[in-house]
Amino acid sequence: MEGAETIHDEDIRAVVRALLDQGDFLGKQELLAQIEGLTYVDGPVDWLHLIVNRRCPASAAESPVPIMPTVLDEAGEPYGGLLLWLDAEGYIDYLEYFWIFGDIPPTRLQSPDQIVKGP
């Protein structure tokens, strides 16, 4: 995608951690434990396919996880949100970054400090 930045595992891990820090739910601790074993496989920034080291504990959380934080733009205005999807075994599978304004999808992950508690 033109204008897209390179996606790094450590950036994805920071965003997933910020997402999970927005609330408590069944299976959260297992998902936090999965973060260090998280690796980017492929996909654009708005639909990141991820894999997790299977030595990490599986989560009993629903999919998508029951937290949907808001992503702010550089001006501090709501731009979109995040959904974290799990596979059937309870491992992180996809990070969805949806936008709410305009026809142009995001070209980079926002920094963790731009992820706030959603509605």
What pLDDT, in 10s, does the model give residues 84-100? 999 999 999 999 999 98
What is the rounded average pLDDT for all residues in the chain? 93
Q: Domain ranges in the chain?
A: 9-102
pTM as predicted: 0.93
Question: In whole angstroms, what is the distance from residue 10 CA to residue 62 CA?
Answer: 24
* DSSP code per residue over 12-53: HHHHHHHHHTT---TTHHHHHHHGGGEEEEE--TTEEEEEE-
Contact 13, 20 (CB under 8 A): no
What pLDDT, in 10s, does the model give residues 34-51? 999 999 999 999 999 999
